[in-house]
Amino acid sequence: MLQHVQNVFTRSGACSRMRATRRFLLFLFLFCGPRAGLLDEVIAMSTQEQTPQPSSSVTRRAFIKMVIASGAAVSASAYLFRGSTLVGQGSLPGAVERLMSLNVNGQLRRVDVMKQETLATTLRYKLGLTGTKLGCDRSECGACTVLIDDIPHYSCSVLTHTVRGRKIQTIEGLERPDGTLHPVQQAILDEQGFQCAFCMSGFVMSAVGFLKTNPNPTREELAHGISGNLCRCADYDKILRAMMRGAAYMQKTTT
């Protein structure tokens, strides 16, 4: 029995923990005798520890591939079945669909919009219509003015999701398909109505929207109509002259 114990714990690759266990078993054999049941159980356990276990058939590379594939499948299914019919209940209060269609300058444009995104951000950075300027970004300067259903609005304070199904017009949409400028745009070129022209697009859209409701205004009426726009160059006299000429050009085109 002593020889069997020594053979068990002197095989190649035995670690220091096994050597310590060997000394303990020798102590049990010397003081407890070969009939001690504890000794036989420990020998059996030691033999099982040294028996090599069969390796798993799944390698680490295969496991990583399975994890990636399952993650892609879950993501794809979440996108395909993102509707409320899958779970049998409606959307949460205030939830909006990100992918939407906008009627901009007579064209339907598909765009991915976040729920807190403003119309000015969508027009500039999603649709590339940089004629809409961002000045104060808090509804004070009017540089971001666009027409929504022919009414001037500050696009920096309008959420894009609120204009779903409405007609939006920017300064890029004033030009005719043949390249002819809008009468207000042509009047600005003729009068040289602006200096830096950063605020020009906002003034033009405000004037166009006002002239739709009052095509033959006085200078005072037109000044009041575009009073929601600011010019840092303070060149209001030239701006008003250009807008009045634009009103005259529009009357000629309608007669």
Q: Is 150 exposed, middle or buried (0-12, 13-18, 19+ CB in 10 A)?
A: exposed
Determine the pLDDT at residue 53: 54
Over residues 241-255, the pLDDT tens digits come to 999 999 999 998 876
Q: Could you tell me how far CA 190 lies from the centroid of its own chain? A: 42
Task: Assign domain 99-254 to its CATH superfamily.
Answer: Beta-grasp domain (3.10.20.30)
Strand-pair partners of 103: 108, 167
Residue 148 has pLDDT above 80, yes or no: yes
Residue 125 has pLDDT above 90, yes or no: yes
Q: What is the mean pLDDT of residues 189-212?
A: 95
For residues 157 and 63, the model is more confident at 157
Determine the pLDDT at residue 31: 54
Q: How far is 183 from 181, CA to CA, in rounded Å?
A: 6
Whole-model pTM? 0.63
* Domain range list for the chain: 2-49, 99-254
Mean pLDDT value across the chain: 81
The answer to whether the beta carbons of residues 50 and 11 sit under 8 Å apart is yes
Residue 40 banded pLDDT, cuts 50, 70, 90: low
Determine the pLDDT at residue 43: 56
3-state secondary structure of 151: strand
Over residues 74-124, the pLDDT tens digits come to 766 665 555 544 444 455 555 667 899 999 999 999 999 999 999 999 999
